[in-house]
Amino acid sequence: MRKLENSYLTEKELILSCKKNNRKAQKELYEIYKERLFLVCLKYCRNKAEAEDNLHDTFVEVFLNIKKYKFKGSFEGWLKRIAINKAISLYKNKKEINVIFYDSQLKEEEETKLSEFNDLPLQSIINAIQKLPNQYRLVFSLYYLDGYSHKEVSEKLDISISTSKSNLHRAKIHLRENLNNSSNLKKAKRGA
């Protein structure tokens, strides 16, 4: 196991201490991973406040279930899965995941990565993603930001594969509109 930055313990030693409910170790684990997990939460939540709530719920879940962690696979990956699942369950519980069917086949170009957004500032992209309706934002984040396939997205969100594709297509349309509106607003302010 690797030595953690800003810690005298290895990752394994820290996890073992957390499994024993050592509060100091739990605080240290929180401090080490909070920023990275917050960025994960931001991708799935509508705003900073929701992301902070999701981060809190994630760490509660982590500390309740850390004894189940078996040191197989990446610990950070395990943490991220909990954060993603917490965000998804939040929206599922609110009944905000809509089942939307797209009747025609999606063009192959729609399945390519979004290179058109590469030159935009990251904060603009994050803001535009957060403005997406929940069902679009979740599919977009799972597919593009976390690399899940449509089959995996459909299983996670309990929707059909065609709904996943449709929601992704519509998410990109909304995202382009949000980014264009944001860009036009900034240009108008500079011109004024």
pLDDT tens digits, one per residue of 79-104: 999 999 888 887 766 544 333 333 33
CATH topology of domain 11-93: Rna Polymerase Sigma Factor; Chain: A (1.10.1740)
Length of the chain in residues, anyone?
192
Flag whether pLDDT at 189 surpasses 80.
no
The predicted structure's pLDDT at residue 101: 34
CA distance 155 to 152: 5
Instruction: Report the 10 Å Cβ neighbour count for 175.
Output: 22
Mean predicted confidence (pLDDT) in 13-30: 94
Q: How far is CA 17 from CA 7, 24, 60, 63, in A?
A: 13, 9, 16, 11
Lowest mean pLDDT among 22-31, 100-109, 120-129, 146-155: 100-109
Distance between alpha carbon 189 and the CA centroid of its chain, in Å?
Answer: 31
pLDDT at 137 over 80: yes
Answer whether 0.85 is exceeded by the pTM.
Answer: no
**Looking at the domain 108-191, which fold is it?**
Arc Repressor Mutant, subunit A (1.10.10)
Helix, coil or strand: residue 29? helix
Domain coordinates of the chain in residue numbers? 11-93, 108-191
